[in-house]
Chain A
Amino acid sequence: MTLTLLDELLLFSGVTVLVALFLGRRLPAGWMVTILYGIQLLSLLKMAPLGYGGDPIPSTLILEVMGQTLSWRFDALSWYFALITLGSALLSSWYACGEWEQRFRQAGGNVWLFHLAMALNVFSMLILLASGDLLSLFIGWELVSWAGFLLMAMAGGVATRAAMRYITYAMVGAMAIFGGIALVYVSAGSLQYDAILTAVSQMGTPHLWMLVILFSAGFGIKMGLMPFHLWQAPAYAETPGPGSAFLGAISSRMGLFAILLVLVKLFGIVNIESLKIPFTLIDARDLLAWIAVFTIIFPTFTAMKQNDARELLAWHGIGQGGYMLLGLVVADAMGAAGGLLHVFNHATYQAALFMAVTAVIHRTGTSDLNKLGGLVVRMPLSFMVLLVGIIGLAGLPPMNGFVSKWLVYRSLLNEGMPLLFVAAVIGTLGTILSVYKLIHNIFLGQLRVEHEHIKEAPWSMMIPMLILAAIIFITGLLPGIPLAWVASVQEAVGLSVPNYTLGGVESASGSLDMIWVIGVLFAGFGIGALVFYSAGKSKRVHQLDNYAGGHFLTADIRYQYSDNFYAGLMHLIGGWYRGSFLWLEKSVKSLVEFLSLGMQGIYRRANAEFYLLSTALFVIAWVVI
Chain B
Amino acid sequence: MAPLELIIELVLMPLVAFIVGLMMVLMMRRIAAKLQRRVGPPFFQPLYDIVKLHGKRTQVSHGMIHDIGIVMAMGGYIAAETLLPVPGMNGIAEKGGIITLLYLMMIPSLGLALGVGQCANPNGSIGIARALTAMLAYDIPLVIVVFGVAYAAGTTNLVEIIATQQAGGFETWGAVQMPLLAIAGLIAMHASLGKQPFEIYIAPAEIATGPMVEMGGKYLGGLFVMQSFQLYTTSVLYVSLFLGGGTTWFDFLLKSFLVLAIPVSIAYLFPRYRTEDLLRLMWKWPVMLGLIGIAFVM
- Direct A–B touching, Cβ under 8 Å: yes
Residues of chain A having any CB pair with chain B under 8 Å: 373-374, 376-377, 380, 383, 387, 391, 394-397, 402, 406, 409-410, 413, 416, 418, 421-422, 425-426, 429-430, 432-433, 436-437, 439-440, 443-447, 508-513, 516-517, 520-529, 531-541, 543, 545-549, 559-561, 565-569, 571-573
Q: What are the residues of chain B within 8 A of A432 when measuring CB–CB?
A: 106, 110, 132, 135
Residues 121-158 of chain B: 1 if any A CB is under 8 Å from the residue's CB, otherwise 0? 11101101110110110011001100110110011110
- Supposing A439-B117, A521-B107, A523-B79 touch, asked if A535 and B139 sit within 8 A by C-beta, the answer is no
Distance in Å from the Cβ of A337 to the closest Cβ of chain B?
15
Residue numbers in B under 8 Å from A394 (CB-CB): 110
A418 touches B136 (CB 8 A): no
Tell me how far the C-beta of B93 lies from the nearest C-beta in chain A, rounded to whole angstroms.
10
Q: If A422-B144, A433-B133 touch, does A568 touch B103 (CB 8 Å cutoff)? A: no
Contacts A422-B147, A535-B54, A572-B275 known; list 13 others, CB within 8 Å: A418-B298, A421-B143, A429-B136, A433-B132, A436-B128, A509-B156, A510-B156, A513-B92, A517-B92, A524-B14, A547-B213, A547-B214, A571-B276
How far does the Cβ of A439 sit from chain B's closest Cβ, in whole Å?
A: 7
Instruction: List chain A residues, Cβ under 8 A from B130.
Output: 568
Query: Taking the nearest CB of chain A, how far is it from the CB of B233, in angstroms?
Result: 12
Q: Is B119 an interface residue (CB 8 A)?
A: yes
User: Which of B14, B75, B99, B121 sits near A410, CB closer than 8 Å?
Assistant: B99
Contact A509 B61 (CB under 8 A): no
Interface size on B, residues (CB 8 A): 89
B276 and A538 within 8 A (CB): no
Cβ contacts under 8 Å, B14 to chain A: 524, 527
> Do the beta carbons of B64 and A380 come within 8 Å of each other?
yes
Q: Given A512-B95, A526-B75, A538-B67, verify A568-B200 contact (CB < 8 Å).
A: yes
Contact of A541 among B60, B117, B156 (CB under 8 A): B60
Q: Name B's interface SS.
A: helix
CA of A565 to CA of B106 in the docked complex: distance in angstroms? 20
B24 within 8 A of A: no
> Please, how many angstroms separate the alpha-carbon atoms of A436 and B61 in the complex?
21
User: Which B residues have a C-beta under 8 Å from some C-beta of A?
Assistant: 10, 14, 54-65, 67, 70-80, 82-83, 92, 94-100, 103-104, 106-107, 110, 113-114, 117-123, 125-126, 128-130, 132-133, 135-136, 139-140, 143-144, 147-148, 150-151, 154-157, 160, 200, 208, 213-214, 217-218, 221-222, 225, 274-276, 279-280, 291, 294, 298
Cα(A549)–Cα(B214), bound, Å: 11
Q: List 16 A-B contacts (CB under 8 A).
A: A376-B118, A422-B140, A422-B143, A425-B140, A437-B129, A445-B117, A446-B120, A510-B156, A510-B160, A520-B92, A524-B76, A532-B70, A535-B59, A536-B57, A547-B121, A560-B122
User: What distance in Å separates the Cβ of B113 from its nearest Cβ neighbour in chain A?
Assistant: 6
Q: Cβ of B76 and Cβ of A541 under 8 Å apart?
A: no
Q: Which single residue of chain B is at the shortest CB-CB distance from A547?
A: B213
Nearest chain A CB to B126's CB is how many angstroms away? 6
* B78 with A377: CB separation less than 8 A: no
Closest residue to B58 on the A side, CB-wise? A539
Give the distance to chain B from A535, nearest Cβ to Cβ, in Å: 4
Which of chain A's residues have a CB closer than 8 A to the CB of B136?
Answer: 426, 429-430, 433, 569
Q: Which 10 A-B pairs have the closest CB atoms?
A: A568-B275, A444-B117, A510-B156, A524-B79, A528-B74, A538-B59, A525-B75, A528-B75, A524-B78, A524-B75
